[in-house]
Amino acid sequence: MIEREPFRVRIKVRHYELDTLGHVNHAVYHSYGEVARLELVEKAGGLAGGLAAARQAAVLLESHIVFRRELRAGDEVDVSCVTKFGGGKTFRMDSTITKTDGTVAAEITCTLGLMDLERRKLVDDPKAAMERAGVDVAVLCGEA
Q: How confident is the model at residue 3 (pLDDT cuts 50, 70, 90)?
A: low
**pLDDT tens profile 24-66:** 999 999 999 999 999 999 999 988 778 988 999 999 999 999 9
- The size of the chain, in residues, is 144
Question: Exposed (0-12), middle (13-18) or buried (19+): which is 68, by Cβ within 10 Å?
Answer: middle
CA distance 104 to 128: 33
Element (H, E) at 52: helix 50-53
105 pLDDT exceeds 80? yes
Span 132-140, average pLDDT: 94
- 12-28 pLDDT, tens per residue? 999 999 999 999 999 99
Average pLDDT, the chain: 94
H helices, E strands: number in the chain: 4, 6
